[in-house]
Structure 1
Amino acid sequence: MEKGIISYDISSLSWKNGFVEKIRMLFLLFFYIITINRSKQKPYVQRKGSLRMYQVIIVDDEAKIRNGIAGLFPWSQLGFEIAGCFSNGKAAYEYTLANHVDLVLSDIRMPIMDGLELSEKLLEKRDIKIIFFSGYQDFEYVRRALRTGVVDYLLKPVKYEDLVDCLTRIRDRLNSETHAAPAREEENLTYYEKIISLVKNYLDTDYQNATLEQAARLVNLSPNYLSRIMKEHSDVNFSDYLLKTRMENAARMLKDIGCKQYEIAYRVGYDNPKNFSRAFHQYFHMTPSQYRKSSGADHDYGGIS
């Protein structure tokens, strides 16, 4: 045998040595091929002081596939790092909401939450890149995947070269987006400011009947996403701003001796005057009657203390 060349005559092994020996030789040959492929891949060198390792999660209900892709592929050479592996879309979705993830590699057909639902939910919440890999060459899957914003679709078994090419394109795109991030953040800030301004104007004018669901419909967002925008990009969250608006308007009305307290409660969104009185006391640290008296308008014959 020439030096540096691996060559096994599998047919020469007698069955006396057993089937296990043949399998062992096949695995040695397989891992040799993987090593040669890796050595041909040029290492990715990050630009000094500008880039980081992009975070990747792998989602597949088959452990062999998850572990194989995560363990046998030279992620770091391309500028990526495996952040986690998950067996279903729900677990991956929950992780991604709580952690920073740049790229998701996901199977399509999975239990609990499939890849299509995962991509739709993630792209509503995050600016994230998604690659699908599937054993099903189904045009309807491809069409739906691309429609949701998935960047690529690979067929199983995934070829080494195809995955390298795909990841290289995505890495280059992430690099360019990283450099453009400051301008994009400014655009996003303006976008968030417009949403918050619309919502606050709605609460200021319709505080009696205002709800988070109605506000979300007004700006064409989900209630949960709107709530998160208010919390992260405003000085006050949705419920606190609504309470503030209701209490300040109630205080203004209490200064008018012609307004009965039970009427004020209803006009600021409380069907039960006792609930209004409790909320008012928590906000101003005095009852509506005490506030009215302190303001000089203390002749209220419809009081609720």
Structure 2
Amino acid sequence: MYQVLLIDDERWVRTSLKKVMEKTELPFTVIHEASNGLEALDWLKEHEADLILTDVRMPVMEGLQFVQEVRKQSREQQMIVVSGYDDFPYVQQALRSGVFDYLLKPVEVVDMKRCLQQWMMQHQDRAPSKPELTSDPLEKSTIAKVQEYVQANLAGEITLTEAAARVHLNPSYLSQLFKQQLNRNFVDYIVEVRMEEAKRLLCCTSLRISEIADRVGYSDVAYFSNTFKKWNQCTPSEFRKAPDQGK
């Protein structure tokens, strides 16, 4: 997942840009927001980002000055500037300063996607080859956090959107990551965990089937029983009565 530092003095613009970025369904996530270049420079003293997306016109320290300050520090930080049509002279200056590309406001999804895809291609060409996602400790940690979220919320509603928000990822990317690491999709994983917990409760407690259904997130007992049968080739009652109880 590529980490992005987003710089714009207007909060609603930052929110809009984040939504546009999410809609590209590319592996980018905003890890920090700053309202001007000076604030961004302070953050960069102790943090790193793969890519910086910055507005041109801002108070305190505008985008071009920020770009120049980053270059003075000999940071090989790649940047994309966001500009209005009347800022084109500023954009030309930014390009001469070595920014990767520019986007015109209002930024459309197709333009953001094109720009980010081009950046990814160049970044992959320059960067050393990376291991597969399944061997990345950070990605494994992310999946572990999602699994903890699922386990802790079996009785309630579990959604991909909420899970992705908890680990600060794009839902589409999390879905892809889940499939690559666990070899199943997110929905199937939730059902599997719920069915395993239902089996445990059937084996180890005397709770009524309706109570077990409720504990694993099913308000409709009939639907729970049908789902259980699809996964275990027997109904909850049959499973409980079996001599080995599914062991």
1:212 aligns with 2:113: no
Which of 220, 226, 233 is matched with 1:272 structurally?
220
Distance 2:186 2:134 in 1: 22
How many Å apart are 1:216 and its aligned residue? 1.6
Which of 130, 146, 150 is matched with 1:203 structurally?
150
How many Å apart are 1:282 and its aligned residue? 0.2
Q: Residue 295 and residue 260 in structure 1: after superposition, are their counterparts in 2 closer, same or farther (change >3 A)?
A: farther
1:22-60 residue CA offsets vs partner (Å, 9 max, x unmatched): xxxxxxxxxxxxxxxxxxxxxxxxxxxxxxxxxxxxxxx
SS at match of 1:182: coil
SS at match of 1:228: helix
- State the one-letter code of the partner of 2:87: D
Q: Could you say which residue in structure 2 is the equivalent of 1:39?
A: none
**TM-score after normalising by structure 1:** 0.42
CA contact (8 A) 2:178 2:185 kept: yes
Q: Residue 190 and residue 290 in structure 1: after superposition, are their counterparts in 2 closer, same or farther (change >3 A)?
A: same
- State the one-letter code of the partner of 1:151: F
Bigger RCO (CA 8 Å, 6+ sep): 2
In structure 2, the gaps of 5 or more residues are 1-16, 29-50, 52-77, 105-117
Q: Indicate the RMSD between aligned Cα atoms, in angstroms.
A: 4.3
1:241 aligns with 2:189: yes
Matches within 5 A, 1:11-90: none
Distance 2:26 2:228 in 1: 36
Q: Could you say which residue in structure 2 is the equivalent of 1:136?
A: 85
CA contact (8 A) 1:199 1:215 kept: yes
1:130-176 residue CA offsets vs partner (Å, 9 max, x unmatched): 9899993426x95xx99xxx722499xxxxxxxxxxxxxx99x93x7
CA contact (8 A) 2:160 2:171 kept: yes
Q: Could you say which residue in structure 2 is the equivalent of 1:125?
A: 26
Which of 247, 255, 262 is matched with 2:203 structurally?
255
- State the one-letter code of the partner of 2:219: D
How many Å apart are 1:177 and its aligned residue? 4.1
Q: Percent identity between the aligned chains?
A: 36
Tell me which structure has the larger Cα radius of gyration: 1
- State the one-letter code of the partner of 1:240: D
Matches within 5 A, 1:173-212: 174=122, 177-178=124-125, 180-183=127-130, 189-209=136-156, 210-212=158-160
**TM-score after normalising by structure 2:** 0.51
How many Å apart are 1:295 and its aligned residue? 4.1
In structure 1, the gaps of 5 or more residues are 1-115, 156-169, 298-305
Of 185-194 and 238-247, deviating more is 185-194
- State the one-letter code of the partner of 1:251: K
Distance 1:133 1:268 in 2: 47
Q: Could you say which residue in structure 2 is the equivalent of 1:152?
A: 101
Distance 2:22 2:133 in 1: 24
